[in-house]
Structure 1
Amino acid sequence: MQTPFSLRIFVADGDPDGLRIVDKSNWIGKALVLPRALLPQVKARPELAQTGVYLLLGPRPDGEGDMLYVGEGDPIRPRLESHYAQKDFWTRAIGFTTTTAGQLNKAHVQFLESRLIALAKAAKRLPLDNANQPAEPSLSEADRADMEVFLGHMLGMLPVLGVHAFERAPSYAAAALATSGAAAANASGVLYCKGKDVVASGYESTQGFVVKSGSFAVVEVVPSMRENWPARITQRRDLLEAGVLVPDGTALRFTQDYVFTSPSLAAVMILGRHTNGRTKWKDAQGRTLKEIQEAEAGQ
């Protein structure tokens, strides 16, 4: 069961889109969230003079979705200044450090960087701009335990800050508990999407719509999708390149549970054509997701 927590967001310059300092209850760390354009004005902040780990996020070169870079700095400021001059893609940065200087050292942030990159690669939610997987540094047992706790706090905060790159798909039981209460976890709420010679199964979660591992998708997309929905072609290519989808006989197979932002996007990836996921996903009794939601809403 998840533990409730609170965040305090301080808008440092009064602009909601400007620099934000984010503190989490019962944690020694803090986050700085800033747009790229603001770095020259805020680089003198004392937090950026500390050792820390940071994320850079921004649109991919083809403009279809975001990409991610994970880095560490001792201190953070010169690394961000270097990326400001040399990396074009990023539009915002999130840096993590501590409320009191000196609580993180170089080995600590190298460990955090390595773990974050490994988690992003496993989740396969965003393409990484990092060329390599850095090795974890040698830490004492106590330091490693402390950094795992620090990492856990970061991962809890990031979805609230709009970053889902490190999240694996929740299990069906966890999703049912989060969305519908304990009773639903024992009910059959799995939905099915069927197309020509393919069947996929999935369920709704707080993260989005999860397509289950072992589901199948068509190999070929319809011509109109290539002409009118190039972004969907790019997303499908990304799933293939990341190994989320692999060829299996005459179809493509999902190798892991994977979260899509909506049931419609999940159905489009499976069927290779534009479709309404709320009417395409059905339960074992043949009720559409739309009908199920309307019944739950009392309509």
Structure 2
Amino acid sequence: MVERSNWIGKALVFPRSLLPEIKSRPEFRQTGVYVLLGPRDEGEGDAIYVGEGDPVLPRLENHFANKDFWTRAAFFVTTGTGLNKAQVQYLESRLITLAHEAKRVRLENRTQPTLPTLHEADLADMDVFLGNMLQIMPLIGISAFERPKRPTRRKRHRLFCSGKGIQAEGYESSEGFVVIEGSQAMAETAPSMEHRVGGYFDLRAELIESGVLLEQGPALRFAQDYSFKSPSAAASVVLGRAANGRTEWADEKGRTLRAIQEAAVGG
């Protein structure tokens, strides 16, 4: 359970396997908004599903029986007077919108709920509640609702990956590897990519479909910063083939990421 001082909300985070054991807790009988998380059924990366329940338990039990992808969940309720149905519908809709805009994970929701009409005071309260939720999310391992925060040029080690007529720029992050907006990627993939690194092939196709990668002349362009799980995932998507990120990414002096990492640990 996660709480914050001076906030009426709290988060309950649990692995899927524990739901039958902990569902008797009083929080499960409250009205709330929840997030299901797990690996994508196909391809590389994670998937999420956002929902609301009044109370949350029946919805979570239904997903326990009928949704296979999720391995853990988090839900948010209040410590005092409970949230009402319209309030959690508002939070659900806002979270889905934020996940769509961030484009960091696959969103399993098939529809975009309409924002309910809230009184001005309710609206202000829910925006504050949502702000607290978003501050807690990274602490419980959820990064689906915000774009990567780019360090200043002085604080990040700029790395480059080049192919035929294209160049991408990125940097290592605590979550993996970020390719920055404006970077280029190969327009076509190697014939062997789907067979050798099918997960990266599927991820690349999804980034094109979602608008993270846009056609620009003979190449593709990153329309936003995008966080990959690893340097190799980033390099493979950029180059359109199986690639070792530790040797494909290099700094302005030509030192590969592998050499930089080995030097950092005295290798």
Which amino acid in structure 1 is aligned with residue 130 of structure 2?
Answer: L
CA shift for structure 1 position 219: 2.2
Deviates most, 28-37 or 235-244: 28-37
**Contact 1:170-1:205 at 8 Å conserved across structures:** no
Gaps of 5+ in 2: none
1:234 is aligned to 202
Which amino acid in structure 2 is aligned with residue 140 of structure 1?
Answer: H
CA shift for structure 1 position 225: 2.6
The total of aligned residue pairs comes to 267
RMSD: 2.4
Q: TM-score, normalised by structure 1?
A: 0.80
Correspondence 1:127 to 2:106: yes
Q: How does 1:23-38 map onto structure 2 within 5 Å?
A: 23-38=3-18
CA shift for structure 1 position 75: 1.5
Deviations 1:197-222 (A, max 9, x none): 11111223333322111211112222
Correspondence 1:266 to 2:234: yes
Aligned equivalents of 2:79, 2:116: Cα separation in 1? 24
**Contact 2:38-2:71 at 8 Å conserved across structures:** yes
Aligned equivalents of 2:157, 2:21: Cα separation in 1? 51
Deviations 1:243-280 (A, max 9, x none): 11122222111111111122222111101222232332
1:78 is aligned to 58
1:156 is aligned to 135
Which amino acid in structure 1 is aligned with residue 123 of structure 2?
Answer: R
Match of 1:99 among 65, 79, 85: 79
Deviates most, 62-71 or 114-123: 62-71
CA shift for structure 1 position 25: 4.1
Question: Residues 254 and 80 from structure 1, CA distance in 2 versus in 1: closer, same or farther, beyond 3 angstroms?
Answer: same
CA shift for structure 1 position 35: 3.1
1:109 is aligned to 88
Q: Which runs of 4+ in 1 moved over 6 A?
A: none
Deviations 1:36-82 (A, max 9, x none): 34333333321011111001123433365432110111221222233
Correspondence 1:249 to 2:217: yes
Gaps of 5+ in 1: 1-20, 177-183
**Contact 2:43-2:203 at 8 Å conserved across structures:** no
**Contact 1:54-1:71 at 8 Å conserved across structures:** yes
Aligned equivalents of 1:261, 1:44: Cα separation in 2? 36
Question: Residues 152 and 80 from structure 1, CA distance in 2 versus in 1: closer, same or farther, beyond 3 angstroms?
Answer: same
Residue identity over aligned pairs, in percent, reads 58
1:198 is aligned to 166
Question: Residues 84 and 206 from structure 1, CA distance in 2 versus in 1: closer, same or farther, beyond 3 angstroms?
Answer: closer
Deviates most, 111-120 or 272-281: 272-281
Q: Which has the higher contact order (CA 8 A, sep 6+)?
A: 2
Question: Residues 67 and 80 from structure 1, CA distance in 2 versus in 1: closer, same or farther, beyond 3 angstroms?
Answer: same
SS in 1 for 2:112: coil
Deviates most, 65-74 or 77-86: 77-86
Aligned equivalents of 1:228, 1:206: Cα separation in 2? 27
CA shift for structure 1 position 294: 4.7
CA shift for structure 1 position 116: 0.8
SS in 2 for 1:256: coil
Match of 1:140 among 113, 119, 141: 119
Aligned equivalents of 1:297, 1:91: Cα separation in 2? 34
Which amino acid in structure 1 is aligned with residue 20 of structure 2?
Answer: P
